[in-house]
A and B are shown apart, each in its own frame.
Chain A
Amino acid sequence: MPLNEIVLDMDKVKITRLKTDVLIVGGGAAGCFAASELKLNAPNCDCIVMEKAHIDRSGCLAMGINAINAYLNPGETPDSFVAYIKNEFMGVVREDLLYSIAEGLNSVVHEVEGWGLPIEKDRNGYYKMRGKRSIRIHGERLKPILAERAKRSGAKILNRVVATNFIFDGERVSGAYGFGIRDMTFYVIEAKAVLVATGGASRIYKPNNEGSARNLMWYSPWNVGTGYAMGTRIGAEMTCFENRFVALRVKDVNAPTGTLALGVGAKQINAIGESYLSERYECFGGRKCVTPYRLYATILEDKAGRGPCYLDISHLSDRERRKLKEDFLSMNPSIVLLWADEGLDKKLSCVEICGTEPFIEGGHSEAGYWVDVDRRTTIKGLYAAGDITGGSPKKYASGAWVEARISIKTILADINLNGKIRAVDESDIQNELQRITAPFYNHNQNSVTAREMEERLQKVMDEYAGGISTNYELNDKRLRLARDLLNELLGHLEFLRAENSYELVGCLEIIDRIEVAQVLVEHLFHRRETRWPCYQTRIDFPDRDDRFWLKYVNSVRDTSSGKIKIIKRNLQ
């Protein structure tokens, strides 16, 4: 623990009140694009971006990415894009949302290219395709490029301010509260409209690695579902949480396998050298199977004693290997380090693969806010874009930009710039300040740290809600246990202890994560079929049941009792 940070008391926390037209919560891919879009279309509209880290390197794009995976290459159309994703997600997707994303993908990518993103091109000047819907980029600096636009737009950027709750009067969102970790300031930011763009949730389940390597995970470890928790607390409707995302990644370092499979044509092979997708799993579609089956087949191979499984890159020339390292450096440098740890002169032939722990997010899969096609949430004054919106999977970074564009257009149409903001109830401000600073006062012997709570949460979710140790499998009994144990865990929240701002943020994050886990468990409990293997495998209901379950599982948390109500909605 750093010695230069002192124990604080509440008197030292300042309160700063700000007013703006549009508040953007979260300065990641969607948030930065939204700020730029807003100021471009309405220069007189005031805008604040609230960001928990520093927008230059925050969110999912902090390391960079080496491909844009949602782009319509020649031959692809919005219809073919929607059909592809509908098939990947076994029919349960929001086609209206996906279509609106597909229509806007190419123009946002061209816009970001204009901001300085290098995109690989062939001799004729066309983008180099990595797949039908994927192009190659040099995206190591993509996040600083987006951040630069947000800063230059004239929006006010509040770095190192952690969002804690929405300002909500029971009817309408009119701003948000935040805790400034550098200036020890409690921010009360009132706004005419709020765009939530905080991304998904990681660190809910026990990760692949422990201790000294525990945060070397696929999804950003600091995306902890704060936006989901803030939404459920005010009764916003959520959808498809049970559609968890489990990535097939390079073992230990969690490097992307797409760079190997799509990028250099590496085949998935098992321990006895069989190309198992085509040799054993034609029933799933062989090498052309949908994404969850690549992982499911890998787990089946392991269970059958033919693991570990690998991606075979023995066919690559030295030049191709070097290019491969470059691609990884722009997206996930740790795999290059792993290879160097084995010796630079060693010929790389196979890369071991495995599944990650499950994540809750709406960029690769479809957990998130239930929104209309204009990205209004079910709460007045609150809009959503990016990984936090549900029902529109595989939108990735470029889809998040399109959603940012759509939501800003809606906000500008909905708000009256000359109108007044509803006054905040002073007692609400005091209550929230008390809630978030409570961990500073817990110093009795029963107190617990955020890290201890995290270990408990992850153990419960891993063992009873389908984590790695159970091959992602779920059943009724285990989910009931998970539900009870999470309730028990909630009872410990009052004992959370923090001695500095870093630990305080850890406490706020674990509260958010437990609340997200509760919603997740209810969703998993209610879908009584197996729709997406690994993402949602019910061993007590092993078959897909299109008669009853071609439906969305949605939820609303009751704002007074805290109870989660499940709503089944028909496909639209």
Chain B
Amino acid sequence: MIYIDKNVCNGCGKSKETMCERICPGDLLFRNNDKKADIRDQGACWVCAACVKACPRHAIELKLPLQIGGNGASLNARVSKGETIWALKDLKGNVEEFKIKSWVDRDKEGCPALISEKADKV
């Protein structure tokens, strides 16, 4: 499941759809009446983290449901040019950070996953 911090989410302003709505492989996210990102059905979430990585405000965290032992730990991710940087927070608030290589710039033509809506207009 995911947790969207409504104080941080700005609904991606005037863009046609929010970045999480654009990317969710299950089409679970949408912009609600308060102009914030929202999820239709937590139980349908695959916990793939596509939305977590795509959110420009880093407002989305990954969590596990209580059913399988979810206890409050959360996982956030941000995408830099060549790395994906994860922040794992446990229930006591301890944070462990991971920087993992995820792309090698071999042809100088731009970085996948740092894409705006413009790139969709093919």
Question: Measuring CB to CB, which residues of chain A are less than 8 angstroms from any residue of chain B?
Answer: 1-5, 53-54, 56-59, 62-64, 114-118, 138-141, 144-145, 147-148, 151-152, 154-157, 159-160, 181-182, 209-217, 220-222, 252-253, 322, 325-326, 329-330, 333-334, 336-338, 340-345, 502, 505
Contact = CB atoms under 8 A, between A and B. Distances in A.
**B73, B91, B92, B98: which has the most chain A beta carbons within 10 Å?**
B73
28 contacts: A4-B31, A53-B25, A54-B22, A57-B54, A116-B105, A117-B104, A138-B102, A140-B100, A141-B84, A141-B113, A145-B103, A210-B67, A212-B67, A213-B67, A214-B43, A216-B45, A252-B68, A253-B47, A325-B88, A325-B96, A333-B47, A333-B49, A333-B75, A337-B64, A337-B75, A340-B90, A341-B69, A342-B69
Contacts of A140: 84, 100, 102
A281 to B, nearest CB: 29
Q: Which 7 A-B pairs have the closest CB atoms?
A: A340-B73, A144-B112, A148-B112, A57-B50, A341-B71, A144-B113, A252-B68
Interface string B12-55: 00000100001111110011110000101011111111100010
Interface in B49-87: 49-50, 54, 62-75, 77, 79, 84, 86
Contact of B88 (A138, A182, A210, A336): A336
A485 to B, nearest CB: 24
A25 B92 CA distance: 47
Contact of B43 (A145, A157, A212): A212
B27 A53 contact: yes
Contact of A116 (B71, B92, B106): B106
Contacts of A53: 24-27
Contacts of A253: 47, 64, 68
Contacts of A116: 103-107, 112
A151 B122 CA distance: 7
Given A2-B38, A209-B67, A340 B89 contact: yes
Given A147-B112, A344-B90, 13 more contacts: A53-B26, A63-B48, A63-B49, A118-B101, A141-B112, A210-B67, A211-B67, A222-B46, A329-B98, A333-B49, A334-B47, A336-B86, A337-B63
Interface of B: 1, 17, 22-27, 30-33, 38, 40, 42-50, 54, 62-75, 77, 79, 84, 86, 88-92, 94, 96, 98, 100-107, 109-110, 112-113, 115, 119-120, 122
A222 to B, nearest CB: 5
A501 to B, nearest CB: 8
Given A138-B101, A341-B69, A344-B94, A334 B62 contact: yes
A502 B29 CA distance: 10
Contacts of A156: 122
Contacts of A338: 64, 68-69
Nearest to B51: A57
Contact of A215 (B38, B45, B106): B45
Contacts of B88: 325, 336-337, 340, 344
A130 B115 CA distance: 32
Contacts of B98: 322, 325-326, 329
Q: Which residue among B90, B91, B102 has the maximum number of chain A CB atoms within 10 Å of its CB?
A: B102
Given A145-B103, A156-B122, A215-B44, A345 B94 contact: yes
A118 B27 CA distance: 29
A252 B68 CA distance: 6
Contact of B69 (A221, A252, A344): A252
